C-alpha cells in the first residue's frame, strides 16, 4: 500500500498523467486487495487453529492432573499392600514359632 501511495503522489506531482497509468494503478490495487484478502483468510484460519490448540492444551492439562492423581493413589495402594504383606509374614513367623514351641 505504501508503494501505491507513493505512485499516486508521484503521478499527482506530474503535470500530465501517463496514458494507462490509472488502469495500472487500479490493477495493482486490485492485486494488492486480493493478496490482503488471502492474508486475512489465513489469519482467521490460524486464529481458529490457535483456539483449537488452546482447548486441546486444557484437555491435556486435565488428563495430566488425572494421571498424577492416579499415580498418587497407586503409590498409596502399594504402601498399604506392602504393609499388609509385611504383617502377614510376621504372623506366619509367629505361627511357625508357636508350632515349634
Alpha-carbon distance of 55 to 70, in angstroms, equals: 23
Predicted local distance difference test score (pLDDT) of residue 13:
61
Predicted local distance difference test score (pLDDT) of residue 24:
80
- Non-local (6+) Cβ contacts of 1 within 8 A are 32
Domain extent listing, the chain: 1-7+19-100
* C-alpha closest to that of 3 among 19, 24, 34: 24
CA angle 89, 94, 99 (to 5 degrees): 125
Average confidence score pLDDT of the chain: 88
Residue 18: band (very low, low, confident or very high) from pLDDT cuts 50, 70, 90: low
Phi, psi of 15 (to 5 degrees): -70, -50
Predicted local distance difference test score (pLDDT) of residue 12:
62
User: pLDDT tens digits, residue range 42-80?
Assistant: 999 999 999 999 999 999 999 999 999 999 999 999 999
Amino acid at each position: 500500500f505504501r508503494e501505491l501511495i507513493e505512485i499516486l503522489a508521484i503521478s499527482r506531482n506530474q503535470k500530465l498523467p501517463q496514458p494507462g497509468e490509472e488502469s495500472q494503478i487500479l490493477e495493482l490495487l486490485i492485486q494488492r486487495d486480493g493478496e490482503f484478502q488471502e492474508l486475512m483468510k489465513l489469519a482467521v484460519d490460524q486464529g481458529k487453529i490457535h483456539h483449537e490448540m488452546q482447548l486441546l492444551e486444557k484437555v491435556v492439562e486435565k488428563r495430566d492432573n488425572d494421571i498424577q492423581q492416579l499415580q498418587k493413589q497407586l503409590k498409596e495402594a502399594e504402601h498399604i499392600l506392602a504393609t499388609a504383606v509385611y504383617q502377614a509374614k510376621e504372623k506366619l513367623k509367629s505361627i511357625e514359632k508357636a508350632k515349634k514351641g
